[in-house]
Amino acid sequence: MIIFGSPRRYLQGPDALARLGEEIARLGKTAALVADSHVLALVGPRVRESCAAAGVGLSEITFGGEITHAEVERMAGLCGANPPEVVIAAGGGKTIDAGKFLSGKIKAKLATVPTVASNDSPTSHIIVVYDENHKLTGVEKLAGNPDLVLVDTSVIAKAPAALLSAGIGDAIVKRFEVEQCVGVKGNNVFGGRSPRTALALAHACYDTVRADSVAALAAVKRGEPDEALERLVEATVLMSGLAFESGGLSVCHAMTRGLSAVPGPASALHGHQVAYGLLVQLALEKRDAAFIADIRDFFAQVGLPLSLADLGFAGGADEIATIAELTAQAAHMKHFSRSISAADLVAAIESVEAATPAKKDAAA
């Protein structure tokens, strides 16, 4: 049986925050805005104004910075005996996941308001949980996807370009992961078979990323949204999110298990981790040299990692073995055309690493 999931409603465009209040009013009369101190200062006034105009009672909860079970319990305690009907999670991926976790705990509806386009968390029902030492500990799931996703591209355009680069990385991998999952008839994140719709979205996402990333990054450097940025944000937030949940994941995301366990890469942005994972997956797929060279050239244009060193890695063979062993144990690894061992992953990583100095030599 195929299963496809998605948010109930998606809005995107310049100054979309002005519409937030009326959209929240569709969901409830009271809401809690979850954001870190920076994002509260950035969007708080507009959220307050919009909700007040729509007659929505608003409270605010400052997110502590790391999505742990203890942090979510703390936030739930702040909601008191009469919790809000809606949680508005505003910010980056961790804040949005914290808002998701909170909404599930207090049984509230959920609106996500990304202030960066660094990943596709805003559309999904997946929650990535860490410990106090910032190590990934597991994944939780909401009963359903967000009720509302609202993306103000005027805000996105003023975020650091490195965060959009990470979003590009998170989005570009989906084509290759969904192809692998569909190829082995694996289950998607919802536990069903992947519909052809998800594969089509993954391909559309890839095509958009390749066509619009360079121009969209230029728009972010100017601080002004344009049509290229609008298309890219739709790809990085909406297409990418729908593709991975309903299409399935593979080696690229499995690599986060290993990369998050070693110094350097553990602190890298999620989108940069999975982008490096794509280079490893392509090596495992035995893609031809011209195809890999094309991908690497694109990575260089948009600030994606070409080596472990680009992720801050300063280790050696032992750390690479750790990355490989933990990655091989990840559930997504079964979504591949053949069984992959830790030794296979070490060889693929070594292949990726060997390509970087060769490229520099060629350019010298």
Structurally, at CATH architecture level, domain 161-363 sits in Up-down Bundle (1.20)
Q: Is residue 50 marked as binding?
A: no
118 is in an annotated binding site: yes
Does the pLDDT of residue 361 top 50, yes or no? no
131 is in an annotated binding site: no
Residue pLDDT, tens place only, 87-141:
999 999 999 999 999 999 999 999 999 999 999 999 999 998 988 877 778 889 9
Query: Any binding-site annotation on 97?
Result: yes
Q: How many CB atoms lie within 10 A of CB 357?
A: 10
Q: How far is CA 65 from CA 99, 133, 199, in A?
A: 12, 12, 34
pTM score, whole prediction: 0.93
Annotated binding-site residue? 141? no
Q: Domain boundaries in the chain?
A: 10-156, 161-363
The reported pLDDT for the residue numbered 136 is 73
Residue 161, pLDDT score: 97
Percent of the chain topping pLDDT 90:
93
Q: Is 253 annotated as a binding residue?
A: yes
Residue 158 annotated in ligand binding: no
More confident residue, 216 or 358: 216
For residue 138, what pLDDT is reported?
82
93 annotated among ligand-binding-site residues? yes
Query: For 28-81, what is each residue's pLDDT tens digit?
Result: 999 999 999 999 999 999 999 999 999 999 999 999 989 999 999 999 999 988
Are the CB atoms for 240 and 174 separated by under 8 Å? yes
- What CATH code would you report for 10-156? 3.40.50.1970
Is 96 annotated as ligand-binding?
Answer: yes
Contact between residue 141 and residue 103 where contact means Cβ atoms under 8 Å apart: no
Tell me the one-letter amino acid at 151.
V
Does residue 281 surpass a pLDDT of 90?
yes
Classify burial at 4, counting beta carbons within 10 Å of its beta carbon; exposed 0-12, middle 13-18, buried 19 or more: middle
Q: How far apart (Å, rounded) are the C-alpha atoms in residues 115 and 155?
A: 6
Q: What is the 3-state secondary structure (H, E, C) of the chain?
A: CECCCCCCCEEEECCHHHHHHHHHHCCCCEEEEEECHHHHHHHHHHHHHHHHHCCCEEEEEECCCCCCHHHHHHHHHHHCCCCCCEEEEEECHHHHHHHHHHHHHHCCEEEEEECCCCCCHHHCCEEEEECCCCCEEEEEECCCCCCEEEEEHHHHCCCCHHHHHHHHHHHHCHHHHHHHHHHCCCECCCCCECCHHHHHHHHHHHHHHHHHHHHHHHHHHHCCCCHHHHHHHHHHHHHHHHHHHHHCCCHHHHHHHHHCCCCCHHHCCHHHHHHHHHHHHHHHCCCCHHHHHHHHHHHHHHCCCCCHHHHCCCCCHHHHHHHHHHHHCCHHHHCCCCCCCHHHHHHHHHHHHHHHHHHHHHHC
94 is in an annotated binding site: yes
> Is 36 marked as binding a ligand?
yes
Q: Is residue 316 predicted with pLDDT exceeding 60?
A: yes
Q: What is the pLDDT at residue 167?
A: 97
Q: How far apart are CA 241 and CA 170, in angstroms?
A: 9
Q: What span, in angstroms and rounded, lies between the C-alpha atoms of 225 and 217?
A: 10
The pLDDT, as a whole number, for residue 137 is 81
Whether pLDDT at 363 is above 60? no
Q: What's the mean per-residue pLDDT of the chain?
A: 95
Confidence of residue 357 (pLDDT cuts 50, 70, 90): low
CA 162 → CA 90, 150, 226, 277, 302, distances in Å? 19, 21, 18, 18, 9
Q: Are 299 and 307 in contact (CB under 8 A)?
A: no
pLDDT digit string, tens, across residues 148-175:
999 999 999 999 999 999 999 999 999 9
356 is in an annotated binding site: no
